[in-house]
Amino acid sequence: FQTVVFSRKTTQHGPDGEITDAFKRKLRDQEPSAQPPSPLASLVHQTDRHGKHSPHPQQHTSHDALKIMGTKFPGDEGKKCLVLDLDETLVHSSFKPILNPDYVIPVEIEGHVHQVYVAKRPGVDEFMRKMAEFYEIVVYTASLSKVRCTAFSTTICNAWYGDQYADPLLDQLDTHKVIRFRLFREHCVHYEGSYVKDLSLIDRDITQSIIIDNSPMSYLFHPRNAIGCSSFIDDMDDRELDSITNFLTEIRAVDDVRNHCHKWSPHM
């Protein structure tokens, strides 16, 4: 099946290594308070202001016009929806060279090409392949932390430079061609200074939707639908995806995932 991509195109760039004073000013200019919102973001923010968006999205009905995904692909009918974070959940990326990177993604920054070095979380290929048998696979990625001047955060790259970083990375990571939709920061809800991945916007049955993310803020609105994994940085002995695979295989046919997600443990 051909992957449907909901991707944002932007011309903003970011540095590697030490960040120049000029670019630090540029980053400040691009913070949420000053960043021009996308059409969807404007609608979401309008809902936030007038609907008094809270961590209880079921109280609001104005989200019906804000769905950010299409219908399921043929063959995915009846499958639950599995929403996956990218950075520190499936991969770890760095502008500093790492030993034996799985991928090297070129990113153009102010006219110069720099390299992003990517390490896959152990077991990610088999995890994606196996989960696609039982679940509709969606990648939903967003920036939830600020950049430090001495270590450029790839979550910033992911959020602001999706066309240069996240899309090429997912093209390579998706070896089995199982990712059905790609969602980025512009598809999140800006809530109390953070970006939340609102599952009520994806037009899927909430009782049949699961999100896996290393950041609890990402699933603030739907904690009962969440499996909170640990952050992957560089531990090549990490086997958390194996544990999640076993758990998700066990609950693939339950009536309501919200009664089961909390039972997962990395020690299962």
DSSP per-residue string spanning 69-98: S-PPPTT-TTPEEEEE--BTTTEEEESS--
pLDDT of residue 141: 87
Contact 64, 70 (CB under 8 A): no
Judge whether 203 lies within some domain: yes
Region 227-239: what's the mean pLDDT? 96
Judge whether 165 lies within some domain: yes
Q: In this prediction, what percent of the chain has a pLDDT beyond 70? A: 67
Residues with active-site annotation? 85, 87
pLDDT class of 162 with cuts at 50, 70, 90: low
Q: What is the crossing angle of helices 124-134 and 240-250, to 10°? A: 10
Region 147-168: what's the mean pLDDT? 49
- How much is the pTM? 0.72
- CATH number of the domain within which 208 lies: 3.40.50.1000
Helix (H) or strand (E) holding 109: strand 103-109
**How many domains, in total, are found in the chain?**
1
Average pLDDT, the chain: 75
| pLDDT tens profile 85-131 | 999 999 999 999 999 999 999 988 778 888 999 999 999 999 999 99
**Which domain does 209 fall in, by range?**
69-91+121-263
Judge whether 142 lies within some domain: yes
pLDDT of residue 186: 83
